[in-house]
Amino acid sequence: MNKRDALKRFALAGVAAASVVLVAACSPKSSSPKFQGIDVTGADYAKDLPLPDQDGKQRSMKDFAGKVVVVFFGYTQCPDVCPTTMSELAEVKRSLGEDGNRLQGVFVTVDPERDTPEVLKAYMANFDPTFVGLTGTPEQLAAVAKDFKIYYKKVDGKTPTSYTMDHSAGSYVYDPKGRLRVYHRYGSGAQALQADVKALLAE
């Protein structure tokens, strides 16, 4: 091999190496946003919500295509965790201005006995009238909760109707393509959620 051929091969190898670097730099993994919550991109659970809403309309994740969706499981008589979470979500939506129209809040009850469609509708209106409340039969909700890895249990009160519900406290955040991307633990705060919603809207 003469000197000219050697230099030519060296130059081609350099171009190939540079191409690999460029491809790596443009790969989805390296361009993914750094989330404030727990990055669960690629998770094989919590894929859909086949439940009726407060108006009796059957819902699924496809209904919210093009929006960032935040899903929370709770119950309307929850004294602290649930109203705090929903208030923070409403705060985030307001803070986004016009982009708030691309954020969908979804509340799934774990207490279908007391959370009738009418109760859910009134509860959603307390935070944002565009938020969707989902319910279903105990069997339907148990199946969805299992898919979402949600824990909930009835805790008896002094009377048959004064019981409370122990339940998982966290929010699932989906990108506009309907893919689960982030999990926010209760207590993360509105600012962290806002940052992640903005990052997903900007993708």
Give pLDDT tens digits for 120-168.
Answer: 999 999 999 999 999 999 999 999 999 999 999 999 999 998 999 999 9
Binding residues: 78, 82, 167
**φ, ψ for residue 110, nearest 5 deg:** -110, 10
**φ, ψ for residue 88, nearest 5 deg:** -65, -40
Binding residues for Cu cation: 78, 82, 167
Across all residues in the chain, what is the average pLDDT?
A: 88
19-59 pLDDT per residue, tens: 433 333 344 444 678 999 999 999 999 999 999 999 999 99
Burial class (CB in 10 A: 0-12, 13-18, 19+), 43: middle
Confirm if 173 and 184 have CB atoms less than 8 A apart: yes
Distance from C-alpha of 137 to C-alpha of 190, rounded to nearest angstrom: 32
CB-based burial, 65-101: b 16+ in 10 Å, e otherwise: eebbbbbbbbbbbbeebbebbbebbbbbbebbeeeee
Q: 11: pLDDT confidence band, cut at 50, 70 and 90?
A: very low
